[in-house]
């Protein structure tokens, strides 16, 4: 069975950056399970997996535009510490939900603290980076009608309600 839209897919993977540093991996754990065609994984990896089947292995490099986007300096802002009322201790690396320019919600990460100035970054941590995947297809099956309706895989390795 080939990977196509509305298939539940299980993959083993290792993700590295261009320097060869491992960013994420399923090694030693359960495979990643996702619903193909539902936007559950980055677009470039989904495209690379289209048409593959159980046992196929591939090495693929995904450019930022097909991953987490280009890095945008417009998503970096310096705010006053007063904007974080109710938070006693601020630390670099902390994440908060904030209003996005389009009116939706986004996650921002504290990048720097200088006195009362707090620099936050709304870019995804992997924005602007080429991502290198080593992938092995472990399982491909038809997704259930409920999984398709919900937009994700249920059960082992998937979403539990």
Per-domain residue ranges for the chain? 7-68+127-150, 73-121
Q: Does domain 7-68+127-150 have CATH number 2.40.110.10?
A: no
pTM over 0.85: no
CB-based contacts of 39, cutoff 8 Å, min separation 6:
46, 151
How far apart CA 39 and CA 66 sit, in angstroms, is 12
Q: Which CATH class is domain 73-121?
A: mainly beta
Give me the tens of pLDDT residue by residue for the chain, a chain 161 residues long: 999 999 999 999 999 999 999 999 999 999 999 999 999 999 999 999 999 999 999 999 999 999 999 999 999 999 999 998 888 899 999 999 888 777 888 899 999 999 999 999 999 999 999 999 999 999 999 999 999 999 999 876 555 54
Contact 158, 30 (CB under 8 A): no
For the record, the structure tokens of 111 come out as 């990048």
Q: What single-letter DSSP state applies at residue 144?
A: P
Residue appearing with tokens 């398709």: 148
């Amino acid at each position: 069975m080939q990977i196509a839209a509305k298939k539940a897919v299980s993959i083993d993977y290792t993700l590295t950056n261009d320097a060869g540093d491992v960013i994420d991996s399923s090694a030693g754990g359960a495979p990643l399970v996702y619903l193909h065609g539902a936007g559950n994984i980055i677009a470039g990896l989904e495209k690379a997996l289209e048409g593959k089947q159980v046992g196929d292995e591939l090495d693929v490099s995904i450019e930022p535009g097909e991953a987490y986007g280009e890095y945008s300096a417009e998503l970096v802002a310096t705010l006053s510490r007063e904007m974080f009322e109710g938070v006693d201790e601020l630390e670099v690396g902390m994440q908060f939900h904030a209003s996005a320019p389009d009116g939706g919600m986004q996650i921002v990460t504290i990048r720097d603290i200088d006195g009362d100035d707090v620099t936050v970054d709304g870019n995804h941590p992997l924005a602007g980076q080429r991502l290198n995947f080593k992938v092995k297809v472990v399982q491909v099956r038809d997704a259930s009608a409920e999984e398709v309706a919900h937009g994700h895989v249920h059960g082992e390795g998937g979403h539990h309600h």
